A and B are shown apart, each in its own frame.
Chain A
């Protein structure tokens, strides 16, 4: 048992965590989150028409970026940030100066636990991130660091310190995160099952990451959280978070970092139009059959010692192996490189390692 790894009171981390919210509509949902979010700095990434004014409710400390800001700050590199898609949120990760990021969709509200109590999703994410992960051996009682849980009989003591947690992936009650075909077949299905567990996704296992209710250690894994080329002018949508999730998982597995999934739940209120979704996802449904074997077999070499190096190596392999699936992947591979360049420009402390990788590695 990792004694001393469980703080009695979860720290607020109010000066160490930014909340990144992409929006094209309005931020009314923040009113419900006020008791939990008000201490934190918000980064609003306004998608769509930059001439529209997005009103932020009173009392929140925030910075807001629209497309004009993104173009101004990144110049030609702005091409890697999606337009007319919530994938633009990753711009917020790039400009944040904090250690942790929490990102949430503007149609996600506070859920209640089975006792009827409002769930402080952010507090649970912080607990998840501040306690270790256990990717090398599955614990049948789930997260052993939670109050009231522990490692089970047979769990080797040498693995009980765990590894640092890079990502905390939360879930959703009410409208489940289904793909378009499933939505069309089951339009009325709602997720009403509160599963009281957090668990580490084992090393070597991929999962479909959802960006609706997601927290991560930006310093540890930020550069891997690129949400790809989606939306306007792109052949695909609704694969942004999944793409980031597969890249991030492969890199976390390589670097010995952990990813947790499960609590906290938020209440997802808006079902998007399944016909619109089908058009966005259509190519993805076919492409994903190629993508999964690609990610399952990807091998990062020993000299990929930083996230940026891993990511650039991934981009090289995307070009080499997925370029033939569709030219989109050539563009995506280039955008992945642009993303890292932009990340390092805006986050200069890490630039040296990435510059070396660029000089040595990324073949175009």
Chain B
């Protein structure tokens, strides 16, 4: 099964900086990052200067840059949302984005995992959303389609989104982590698989990669919680955005993979504190999931931008009245498409 070799200059690695001292982060990831161009976006609320070691090809964007480039907008790039600015200004085909509190993980043999290379492999090999392969990704070495897999479906479709996982501090919600404070994810599951069409999943932004040309506009900072904070337990923007991307990929016939690569996520924050502060995200999911499961996009929506616009309309109509946060999300989605189009028409 042939694989198109990817050029390094087709990739941007986007890091949202929520901490100022990124020295150890970059040194740990150096072996995997240094070949590629990086876009670092500093959380507009972060006051301290960023500390980044030498030896990387990168552009750093701060609050001033964001304000200057995007201009007046209702979109907030505060906190975890800062990375979306990086997605916006990138000119590359593939984007990989990892939270700044993640480290390279080790696989079952004790070797460090090149998460960047794995994401690239996921994005450049086909996805198989229409039929489940029981040996998982059939394009991996040593695997294939099993008996009973229709031959007409073996070419697969383009993979637009690659969702990686986390060892140590898994991406559990605050109630769950609070209930099991010492639970850590030690299980390295050696699989990549395509999430079937029509199946939704909670897409975590912690360790993610996507084809910007195919679905770029569909990753947006739209669903902000009232008391959104600087730990993932206090956010839901990535889950919302990621689920919308899945609906859009299903509609456009693109694939979403989940599984490898793993990153090692540091213990950080206090689940109980987050729980005291913020239940809202957990409650919102009860409405979000049934809504997205029943969302149908019109045949005329042929691009990611069209799809986002259609989804925004439906969100406003069907969810807007139940909670103002959805109305704002719908507005943000439309605003995002506007900004995206404006950036796209600017000279490089």
Contacts and interface: CB of A to CB of B under 8 A. Distances in A.
Interface string B267-306: 0000000000000011001101100010000000000000
A217 to B, nearest CB: 20
B108 A114 contact: yes
A161 interface: no
- For the residues of A in contact with B, the DSSP-based class is loop
A317 B148 CA distance: 21
Contact of A152 (B146, B202, B286): B202
Contacts of A178: 144-147
Interface string B77-93: 00000000000000000
B115 to A, nearest CB: 16
Contact of B134 (A137, A159, A179, A261): A261
Interface string A177-213: 1110010001001111111110001111111111000
Given A148-B186, A194-B190, A196-B190, A169 B258 contact: no
Contacts of A152: 170-173, 202, 204
B143 A157 contact: no
Interface in B146-204: 146-153, 163, 165, 170-173, 175-176, 179-180, 183, 185-191, 195-204
A171 interface: yes
B143 A191 contact: yes
Interface string B88-106: 0000000000000000000
Given A197-B189, A210-B147, A140 B108 contact: no
Nearest to A288: B150
A319 interface: no
B135 interface: yes
A242 B144 CA distance: 17
A48 to B, nearest CB: 22
B199 A207 contact: no
Interface in A1-59: 1
B30 to A, nearest CB: 28
Nearest to A183: B147
Contact of B202 (A153, A208, A242): A153
Contacts of A206: 131-132
A292 interface: yes
A348 interface: no
Contacts of A289: 150-152
Given A1-B179, A206-B132, A289-B150, A153 B144 contact: no
A148 B183 contact: yes
For chain A, the bracket of interface size reads: 35 or more
A100 interface: no
B239 A154 contact: yes
A268 interface: no
A62 interface: no
B232 interface: yes
A114 B187 CA distance: 12
B147 A177 contact: yes
A112 B251 CA distance: 42
Interface string B226-264: 000000110010010001000000000000001000000
A288 B146 CA distance: 13
A141 B201 contact: no
Nearest to A135: B199
Contacts of A151: 172-173, 176
A142 B191 CA distance: 11
A192 B142 contact: yes
A328 interface: no
A268 B147 CA distance: 15
Nearest to B164: A140
B147 A179 contact: yes
Contacts of B32: none
B150 A193 contact: no
Interface centre among B142, B147, B190, by most A CB within 10 Å?
B147
A149 B180 CA distance: 11
Contact of B145 (A140, A153, A182): A182
B134 A154 contact: no
Contact of B189 (A176, A196, A207, A245): A196
B180 A171 contact: no
Contact of A149 (B140, B179, B187, B285): B187
Given A176-B135, A208-B134, A189 B142 contact: yes
Nearest to B141: A193
Interface of A: 1, 114, 136-142, 148-159, 169, 171, 176-179, 182, 186, 189-197, 201-210, 238-239, 242, 245, 261, 281, 285, 288-289, 292
28 contacts: A137-B199, A138-B200, A140-B163, A140-B165, A149-B187, A151-B173, A151-B176, A152-B172, A153-B202, A153-B232, A153-B233, A154-B173, A154-B236, A156-B288, A169-B134, A177-B134, A179-B145, A179-B146, A179-B149, A182-B144, A182-B147, A192-B142, A193-B142, A193-B143, A205-B131, A209-B148, A238-B147, A285-B151
Given A154-B173, A157-B285, 8 more contacts: A148-B185, A148-B187, A179-B145, A205-B199, A207-B134, A208-B149, A210-B146, A238-B147
Q: What are the 9 closest A-B residue pairs judged by CB atoms, nearest first? A: A208-B148, A154-B202, A202-B199, A154-B239, A138-B201, A205-B196, A207-B132, A153-B173, A242-B148
